[in-house]
Structure 1
Amino acid sequence: MGVIRSRKAFLAFLLPGLLFYIFAVFYPIEESIRLSFMEWGGIGEKTFVGLNNYIQMFHNKVFYTAFLNNLIYLVIVVAMQLGIGLLFAVMLTYMTKHVTLIKTLYYVPCIVTTVAIGQLFRSMYSTEPMGLINQFLQAIGLENLVTSWLANVSTALAAVSIPEGWRFTGMYMVIFYAALVSLDPSVYEAAKVDGATEFQIFFRIKLPLIKDIILLTLTMCLTGALRGFDIPYLLTNGGPGNSSELMSTYMYKKAFSSNQYGYGSALAVFIIVESILVVFILRKIFMTEEEKEARRMKREKRRRKDK
């Protein structure tokens, strides 16, 4: 099969996808940025207000509550999805039977609809009738811990974070498993001969070798958690009070419930900037010495050309 070398042929294949990406991603972002400088209720003329929406945002207590809640939500979701996903992937590498079946079973929650997952956990958290979690606590003699998990200010945020963490654990398990089984066994078999333990092999050999996969999954998981919306909105709608309010639910309420599209767009822009910063910081942290040296050499060449 011949290799396509014509630039026109490349453009012909790339153009449909590129156009779709521009209209589906860049155009909405551009509209959000433009609307963030406007005051608009959805009908009538838009009024330019400059940075007023951003000033209002940074002077609003609910914004800071939502931001802090988002950080806690992010920690719980990332710990579950990546921590448990990696643990299960490592355990799978030591299994010889029914690996495909287990991967399939753990992956199923990823393809279940959000509404079904929300309803499942709502019934598990309930007190009337008694949900599975409260029944379990009663069965082991911890009746004092029985509570309405979604209506309790102290537990609502964790209660909406756990379903999202559980939902995609299987997906990250499959990704980590594929990365681990693709490694050359001779590398860590040689380490075993030299007396290395399983823990040493895992932390000093396997993890560094799948560093790129860890960066990819961290990026996916963090940006996904920063944009988390559907399950928290379905379970609590940010309540009780603002105890489980996230940036995305707060933005949705302001834009589509209160018809403050300018203020809602300012919140959306903040979420976009937040996600970009996370990706930038992750790339800085995971950058190898070779990449740092290559960038330094490029900067040196540019300086010489400028001179």
Structure 2
Amino acid sequence: MKGVIRDKKAFLVFLLPCLLFYLFSVFYPIEESIRLSFMKWGGLGAKKFVGFQNYIKLFQDKVFYTAFFNNLIYLAIVVCMQVLIGLLFAVLLTYIRRGATLIKTLYYVPCIITTVAVTQMFRSMYAVQPEGIINQVLKAFGLGRFATSWLTNTKTVLACVSIPEGWRYSGLYMVIFYAALISVDPEICEAARVDGANAWQTLFRVKIPMIKEVLLLVLTMALTGALRGFDIPYILTNGGPGNVSELMSTYMYKKAFGSNQFGYGSAIAVFIIVESMLVVAILNRIFTSKDEIEEKKSLRRTRRSKARS
């Protein structure tokens, strides 16, 4: 028994530095944002407590609603690209016997390229003067009528600021999916083939259900990452033209650091945090089966009965 207690103490000792780092780098900024969201403060001077005034203003702000719905479209494009492309390439990699490591490395490279470099590359592709590669390719294939100024056209700008983020991290999720797929027991797949399952049935009815936890992890990372997406859209268009490509994160930055409305900007930041938490909760609920829910409830009852006894 004493040995177990010692092990727990050692566990806490090793965990303490990470816990302290988390508290000061993550929890404290969140707590400070929540506190500032109830204040009126311009960055200098005394803070004035205004209660829920910032939140009332938030839900009366038309630009905020525009940014919110833009964020949903941005989220859909980014997550679909990252998850579907990542999964597709990971599946294809499982059939490659030679060069898989080289391909993984090449597709992972965009993740480690700086944001400014990625943004400048796409800016050049979308450019009109000098003409970017997208318009050049369209004209080369006789589709010049579709050529446009991609970053100033209100119909295309939101998709154009979403695509770079979706492309950039698809390689990361490809590596995660690939590691999960090759860890699936080959004997299970072989048993499915013996039972008459073809490649598609084996993939969708055997492999993907067996990597459900990894799929949940990837969706959580992709969704929360898209909800706080900021750098590429801000550098490309700064929310323009007008507010057509405005996201909640870019709007929060403008209000807090552009207009010195730190209380209002903090209220937007808190909304983003709550939204991210809701997304994670919904995903966990979707990916948790009824049997697992009942098992968790039974475990809680057992713990309560032990605690009472």
Q: 3-state SS of the aligned residue for 1:241?
A: coil
Partner of 1:128: 129
Partner of 1:93: 94
TM-score normalised to the size of structure 2? 0.95
Residues 107-154 of structure 1: CA distance to partner in whole angstroms, max 9, x if unpaired? 000000000000000000000000011100110111111111111111
Partner of 2:255: 254
- The 3 A distance-change label for structure 1 pair 5 and 187 is farther
Q: How is 1:137-286 mapped onto 2 (pairs within 5 angstroms)?
A: 137-286=138-287
**Structure 2: 5+ residue stretches without partners:** none
CA distance in 1, matches of 2:116, 2:297: 50
The residue type equivalent to 1:287 in the other structure is T
CA distance in 1, matches of 2:165, 2:187: 38
The residue type equivalent to 1:165 in the other structure is G
Q: What is the CA distance between 1:178 and its match in structure 2?
A: 0.5
Q: 3-state SS of the aligned residue for 2:162?
A: helix
Q: 3-state SS of the aligned residue for 1:6?
A: helix
CA distance in 1, matches of 2:304, 2:119: 56
Percent sequence identity over aligned pairs: 69
The residue type equivalent to 1:29 in the other structure is I
Q: What is the CA distance between 1:13 and its match in structure 2?
A: 1.1
CA distance in 2, matches of 1:19, 1:44: 30
- The alignment yields a C-alpha RMSD, in angstroms, of 1.9
Partner of 1:287: 288
Q: What is the CA distance between 1:294 and its match in structure 2?
A: 1.6
Q: How is 1:97-116 mapped onto 2 (pairs within 5 angstroms)?
A: 97-116=98-117
Q: 3-state SS of the aligned residue for 2:51?
A: coil
Q: How is 1:12-27 mapped onto 2 (pairs within 5 angstroms)?
A: 12-27=13-28
The residue type equivalent to 2:218 in the other structure is T
CA distance in 1, matches of 2:297, 2:184: 31
CA distance in 1, matches of 2:92, 2:304: 51
TM-score normalised to the size of structure 1? 0.96
Q: What is the CA distance between 1:195 and its match in structure 2?
A: 1.2
CA distance in 2, matches of 1:57, 1:301: 45
Q: Any runs of at least 4 consecutive aligned residues in structure 1 with deviations exceeding 6 A, and if so which? A: 302-307
Q: What is the CA distance between 1:3 and its match in structure 2?
A: 10
CA distance in 2, matches of 1:303, 1:100: 50
